[in-house]
């Protein structure tokens, strides 16, 4: 593997914190791959200044809105978010001098809500148990606020094609360069679908044989839709930020070769393993993706293959959930703790 090209290194003072977005490190996984010959590398998006992969699209969407005259001095950035895009947008808004208002479903962690407010955002918490056509659905509430607020720009990450384009222009090229073109498999998990779609498009344009595998939480509709073309009913799940109860236009299925489903228990267990065995503090969405990447690597059993996956955000956002044993028990995830005890012997 290679380090980023010298031109990407920080050589001196930067204009703002936004200049540090991107060129996150690619790190080899070790102990969680015990007995597996296929190498797996994780792109640590928690190194972005806002702590997640969503910093990339936040900057791209605001930049595009400014270019197109949709956002100007005194404007307001509005979005329905599961947390990380809102945090990225709030950071950009703070630098650029915009007001921001975000709606977020109540199932999301308290840490995310506090971070949004720390950046100066107004946060409106909405019910999690309503359908996408309900007026209290978080995206619908944000849309209404944007319509009623003078000078507002609705980032609209589920529809804004700057979302996948940002990853086509940054994440994909970074992975290609950091692996010296050796990547054979890319594993991610769609929420909006922008990360996996944009990255996959770039990698497949460089090498059509790169295989793209999507992880989906049990309860999301994406995996079944990819197989049948039928939009089924979603069921509740606890992993945040990935999966969906509707089909997002920023998810381009044509660039994805396969979907695999993962349970909450598997996702939370792997997130905790990453912290305790790899020193990588991440949330359950990362746990889910890494579980899929490990399964792919085990099946390949090929030391010449190169599996790349993502560390979506920092686990500091989930201290009250993923890393809280009482919360796990109260939410029916005691199996996570039982598996840990069994590994410890």
CB atoms within 10 A of CB 195: 28
Q: What's the confidence (pLDDT) of residue 4?
A: 45
Range of the domain at 68: 54-154
Q: Check residue 132 and give its pLDDT.
A: 87
249 in the same domain as 302: yes
- CA–CA separation, 163 and 241 (whole Å): 15
Q: Which of 154, 177, 208 is the last residue of a domain?
A: 154
Query: Count of domains in the chain?
Result: 2
Asked whether residue 199 falls in the same domain as residue 313, the answer is yes
Residues of the chain with pLDDT under 50: 2-4, 6-7
Residue 54 is a catalytic residue: yes
- Answer whether residue 161 is part of any domain: no
Nearest to 270 by CA among 253, 249, 254, 284: 284
Output the pLDDT for position 202.
98
Same domain, yes or no, for 206 and 125? no
Identify the active-site residue in 43, 54, 112, 321.
54
Classify strands 185-188 and 99-105 as parallel, antiparallel or unpaired: unpaired
Please give the pLDDT value at position 2: 44
- For the stretch 233-290, pLDDT in tens is 889 999 999 999 899 999 999 999 999 999 999 999 999 999 999 999 999 999 999 9
- Identify whether residues 10 and 149 lie together within a single domain: no
Query: Residue 11 has what pLDDT?
Result: 66
Predicted pLDDT at 90:
97
> Is residue 139 in some structural domain?
yes
For residue 188, give the nearest of 210, 207, 158 by alpha carbon.
Answer: 210
Report the pLDDT value the prediction gives residue 327, as an integer from 0 to 100.
Answer: 96
Q: What is the pLDDT of residue 79?
A: 96
């Amino acid at each position: 593997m290679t380090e980023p090209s010298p031109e990407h290194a920080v050589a001196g003072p930067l204009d703002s914190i936004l200049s540090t977005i991107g060129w996150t490190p690619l790190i080899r996984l070790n102990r969680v791959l015990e007995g597996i010959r296929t190498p797996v590398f994780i792109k640590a998006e928690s190194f972005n200044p806002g702590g997640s992969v969503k910093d990339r699209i936040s900057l791209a969407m605001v930049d595009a809105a400014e270019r197109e005259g949709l956002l100007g001095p005194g404007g307001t950035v509005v979005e329905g978010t599961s947390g990380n895009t809102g945090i990225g947008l709030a950071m950009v808004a703070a630098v650029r001098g915009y007001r921001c208002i975000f709606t977020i479903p109540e199932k999301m962690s308290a840490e995310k809500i506090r971070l949004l407010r720390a950046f100066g955002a107004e946060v409106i918490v909405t019910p999690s148990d309503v359908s996408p056509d309900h007026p209290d659905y978080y995206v619908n509430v944000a849309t209404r606020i944007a319509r009623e607020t003078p000078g507002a720009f609705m980032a609209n990450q589920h529809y804004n094609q700057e979302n996948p384009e940002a990853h086509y222009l940054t994440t994909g090229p970074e992975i290609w360069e950091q692996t010296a073109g050796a990547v054979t498999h890319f594993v991610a998990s769609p929420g909006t679908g922008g990360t996996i779609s944009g990255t996959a498009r770039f990698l497949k344009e460089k090498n059509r044989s790169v295989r793209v595998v999507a992880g989906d939480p049990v309860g999301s509709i994406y995996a079944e839709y990819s197989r049948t073309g039928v939009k089924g009913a979603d069921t509740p799940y606890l992993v945040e930020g990935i999966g969906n109860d509707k089909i997002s236009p920023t998810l381009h299925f044509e660039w994805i070769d396969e979907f695999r489903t993962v349970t909450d228990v598997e996702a939370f267990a792997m997130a905790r393993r990453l912290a305790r065995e790899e020193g990588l503090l991440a949330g359950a969405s990362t746990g889910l993706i890494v579980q899929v990447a490990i399964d792919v690597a085990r099946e390949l059993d090929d030391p010449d293959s190169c599996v790349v996956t993502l560390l979506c955000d920092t686990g500091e956002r989930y201290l009250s959930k993923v890393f809280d044993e009482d919360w796990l028990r109260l939410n029916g995830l005691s199996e996570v703790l039982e598996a840990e005890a069994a590994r410890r012997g």
